[in-house]
Structure 1
Amino acid sequence: MGSEPILAIRDLKVRFRTNDGPCEAVRGIDLDVGPGEFVAVVSESGSGKSQSVMAAMGLLASNGEVSGAIRYREVDLLKLSPAVLNSYRGRKLAMIFQEPMTSLDPLFRIGTQMAAPLRKHQGLSRKAARARALELLKLVRIPHPERRLDSYPHELSGGQRQRVMIAMALANDPDILIADEPTTALDVTIEAEILALIAELRQQLGMAVILISHDLGLVRKYAERVYVMKSGDVVESGPAQAIFEAPQHPYTKALLAAEPHGHKAPPPAHAPILLEARDLRVSFDLSRGFLKRETVTLHAVDGVDLTVRRGQTIGIVGESGSGKSTLGRALLKLLPSSGIVRFEDRALAPLDRAAMRPLRRSLQVVFQDPFGSLSPRLTVGEIITEGLLVHEPALSRTERERRAAAALTEVCLDPALRNRYPHEFSGGQRQRIAIARAMILHPALVVLDEPTSALDRTVQQSIVALLKDLQARHDLSYLFISHDLAVVRAMADEIMVMKDGRVVERGPTEAIFEAPQQGYTQRLIAAALKC
């Protein structure tokens, strides 16, 4: 790095007070960012990379403690009062997060939320702030920006919401943009667009970028310098080209070699049919136009047929908005739908909520974002045993505790950690907790809705291995919904490719990857390989 750093982190230490004693998250790291530089921090989940930048932004959880120095242009941010630090956040240092839906307020329109930092930091009037918000939406190339100003977050796609977050971060022309896993919740085609946009805006606006990521393909493409973290320490750093072409540390070499691999053995040809759907449809009526007087119908799932045998994994892939997650929820009767769905030869359509309850233990789901699906007010032990309170209310507290310990052991977590809360765990650990919550009920079918998309490659490997082991041990069937084609290839027997609510291609996994027939499938696979 040729010039003086605008951000210099020295001997940074972060620890959290927990019920089981202090947890050391960051153990004394040094990190520099020069003007206009693109720096990446990479590691496995739980290595402290996100906590390092959260400390710089003053956004640690209430039980977090930080020491060392974080100097922005010689001002030590750790010594500033909350009020003074707030004047730097958003104005000099801005941050975009992994999941924009947790950062955007669902009750306010996009324009209102974008105007808030402009009015606070620049003192703009409502009219001027709205005009600037419109400029920013155009800058990040959101389609129909005038209309999007009056949209609510749920009315935007995942890629559009992330563009809004980028626009908000750029509102006050920051010197440094911190992007914390900004694309992990996005499909491969949108992921490439978002990183290309950040790189282009960096050149255009002259700001520095700190990319926190586990996606080494993206880091290699965009970063100038790389820091590799493990267990709270920086184990290797240097120019990106040197790190990727001649890594020195064994951990860096392991990261570069990590990739979900292997192929699943298919179930026996005579395996019984567990779940069957015929002509399944899900539609939503949407209002649009002046005063919302016009109603249009969105066919989110449009005539899908599906057969899942016991012990089988069906991979469902497609871009955001293709209908794959809606399909999974409709199959579990979590959304109104039409058509036929049969589970163990029992029609689900006639069943009301009370009649469905006994079947719920056999039909479980694991969601993409475990932090959003795990209650922050409950301990891990309480979360895992929630289902037992519903389906086996006669169990004693002691027996529930025993079952929780066994479930945690089965997903390779220490049962002694069950008195901790979700925020005290890494992303990979939280996903194991979510899997344990499903497995404690001994289900027959599990819908895995993007269960690895927020995880780094080495953790993905371990989760894929865990899911395969649980499947073999308990004869489970999976519906594996994902935009990560490498993981799908390692997990699935068959693949269904969805676009605009329809299945455009299906077949054995290797046939789809080796000889895709549809242009849409070919583009998905090409985008995945490019990243």
Structure 2
Amino acid sequence: MLCVRDLQVRFRTPDGVVEAVRGIDLDIAPGEFAAIVGESGSGKSQSAMAAMGLLAGNGEASGSVRYRGTELLNLPPAQLNRYRGSRLAMIFQEPMTALDPLFPVGNQIAAPLRRHQSLSRRAARARALELLGLVRIDRPAARIDAYPHELSGGQRQRVMIAMALANDPDLLIADEPTTALDVTIQAEILELIAEMRQRLGMAVLLITHDLGLVRRHADRIHVMQAGRIVESGPTDKLFVQPAHAYTRMLLAAEPHGVKAPPPADAPVLLEARDLRVSYTLSRGFLGRDRLVLHALDGVDLTLRRGQTIGIVGESGSGKSTLGKAVLKLLPATGTIRFEDRALQPLDRAAMRPLRRSLQAVFQDPYGSLSPRLTVGQIVGEGLLVHAPGLTRAQRDIRVAQALEEVRLDPALRNRYPHEFSGGQRQRIAIARAMILHPALVVLDEPTSALDRTVQASIIALLKDLQARHGLSYLFISHDLAVVRAMADETMVMKEGRVVENGPTEAIFAAPEHAYTQRLLAAALRP
């Protein structure tokens, strides 16, 4: 059905031409479940973007991409749009940048239905509501009129999946479709995609950095490294007898180790008591009906210097809301004390001097990096505010050091965010936070976009920085293996409440709450 031959993708940059894809061949049969795996920057996503005609303005592709005999590569947009969203659909890695912030998600799901199937407004809305239920959105009738910013990262990704499945495509290209999702929803989403594939005879091309994720569903796996496919084969054979050293390295990569605990007498850095965050949604005629959602419902937290607290739970459980609340990035009630100073009475101006000590790395790096600034300008931006006495040369040195710490070549600092892979953008976001040497860092899914091998290096980096500078972390993640390697204590959240809290190893060894047991069972599923 899809035949790719000698596909090459290159980008023109100020530093020269970058060869992202270097002549790959790929065939996908009707109904097949194929997967492309490899580290960030290996060319996985750019191969799919080239096939869909979605390369950035400085990118160009050559070779051949044929769908049922029709050449798609470099096809005029007007002709290509007859296939995109109808016969060929794609789920993007970063849903917040792919969804329009000005329209409710229900309208966005209905748009391809109205365009390709000419459905009425009412019929398209009914189908959109049905699709939201299929992708496991909680209370779809209440969410259909929500805007993207009102949903969690995992919920936004499920909206993207609903849009992609709307017109029952022949081929679904899923680019990291579970990156932002917790372990239970990861399994549900892949099972949903597999179910739709069986029902519709749809082929699936799954792009991921996680080899273990594809083991259950993929028929065939293609392993990419540095723009080339280095190994292809049936899934069972590849897992049992990987031929290439790179494939063996990917299979062996897994977060490991246990963090050294802080001193028993370490002072309290951050304390929160009875923290609550609520949202009021207007519904009905003229918005007269109001629905109150409790995102946080009486959460207590004590974080010591040098300590890491892992916060886990399903999408929408309140993990990210808790992180933003303690940083005073959204309104909350209760008490928050940082270095024994009450933060609740402080206004925006009074908080500004403390921002250097309170940093965050957000879940969606592309949405938090300005597309108009170079990477060097982004990483060094905080120094302009908090270290104005530095010269331009001194700032440049600090930026280069920060990029080196997150395993990025400082020579790349004149490039723009769109010229980097998702994993590389996340490392840029980490460098921007760490350059100010904060006391507290809220890490909101800092490794969600990274492959396992890079995750290990980032975890080692975060631990090293913590040991050298006495940093404290709130580590928010749906990846329980990463939390186990990073956190001294773990808080398990469900529907805005903490249902279990204690030493990480104790919780992993003998979880007491049924919800925690379910999360661990999903994470350990083969």
Q: Is this contact kept in 1: 2:360–2:441, CA < 8 A?
A: yes
Q: Deviations over 1:302-327 (max 9, x none)?
A: 22222211111111111112111111
Are 1:389 and 2:384 counterparts? yes
Change over 3 Å in CA distance of 1:99–1:425 after alignment to 2: closer
Q: Residues 24-63 of structure 1 correspond to what in structure 2 (within 5 A)?
A: 24-63=19-58
Q: Is this contact kept in 2: 1:26–1:232, CA < 8 A?
A: yes
Q: Is this contact kept in 1: 2:371–2:416, CA < 8 A?
A: yes
**Which residue is 1:75 aligned to?**
70
TM-score normalized by structure 2?
0.95
Displacement of 1:509 in angstroms is 0.9
Q: Which moved more, 1:25-34 or 1:150-159?
A: 150-159
Pick aligned residue for 2:420 from 417, 425, 429:
425
**Which residue is 1:64 aligned to?**
59
Are 1:164 and 2:159 counterparts? yes
Q: RMSD of the TM alignment (CA)?
A: 1.9
Paired residue secondary structure (2:215): helix
Q: Residues 480-499 of structure 1 correspond to what in structure 2 (within 5 A)?
A: 480-499=475-494
Displacement of 1:142 in angstroms is 5.1
User: Partners in 2 of 1:523 and 1:301 — Cα distance?
Assistant: 21
Are 1:468 and 2:470 counterparts? no
Displacement of 1:466 in angstroms is 1.3
Identity of aligned residues (%): 78
**Which residue is 1:269 aligned to?**
264
Change over 3 Å in CA distance of 1:144–1:351 after alignment to 2: closer
Amino acid at match of 1:190: I
Change over 3 Å in CA distance of 1:249–1:149 after alignment to 2: same
**Which residue is 1:208 aligned to?**
203
Displacement of 1:56 in angstroms is 0.2
**Which residue is 1:3 aligned to?**
none
Pick aligned residue for 2:104 from 109, 116, 121:
109
Displacement of 1:147 in angstroms is 5.5
Displacement of 1:337 in angstroms is 1.7
Change over 3 Å in CA distance of 1:280–1:128 after alignment to 2: closer
Are 1:323 and 2:318 counterparts? yes
Q: Is this contact kept in 2: 1:255–1:458, CA < 8 A?
A: yes
The answer for unaligned runs of 5 or more in structure 2 is none
Amino acid at match of 2:259: K
Amino acid at match of 2:76: S
Change over 3 Å in CA distance of 1:391–1:283 after alignment to 2: same
TM-score normalized by structure 1?
0.94
Are 1:11 and 2:6 counterparts? yes
**Which residue is 2:362 aligned to?**
367
**Which residue is 1:197 aligned to?**
192
Q: Which moved more, 1:278-287 or 1:172-181?
A: 278-287
Paired residue secondary structure (1:229): strand
Amino acid at match of 1:107: L
**Which residue is 1:517 aligned to?**
512
Q: Is this contact kept in 2: 1:159–1:194, CA < 8 A?
A: no
The answer for unaligned runs of 5 or more in structure 1 is 1-5
Aligned residues: 526
Displacement of 1:63 in angstroms is 0.6
Q: Which moved more, 1:246-255 or 1:110-119?
A: 110-119
User: Partners in 2 of 1:387 and 1:107 — Cα distance?
Assistant: 29
Amino acid at match of 1:419: N
Pick aligned residue for 2:170 from 162, 168, 175:
175
Amino acid at match of 2:309: I
Displacement of 1:158 in angstroms is 4.5
User: Partners in 2 of 1:307 and 1:127 — Cα distance?
Assistant: 50
Amino acid at match of 1:66: A
User: Partners in 1 of 2:123 and 2:270 — Cα distance?
Assistant: 56
Q: Deviations over 1:175-206 (max 9, x none)?
A: 11111111110111111111111100000011
Q: Residues 428-443 of structure 1 correspond to what in structure 2 (within 5 A)?
A: 428-443=423-438
Change over 3 Å in CA distance of 1:109–1:344 after alignment to 2: closer
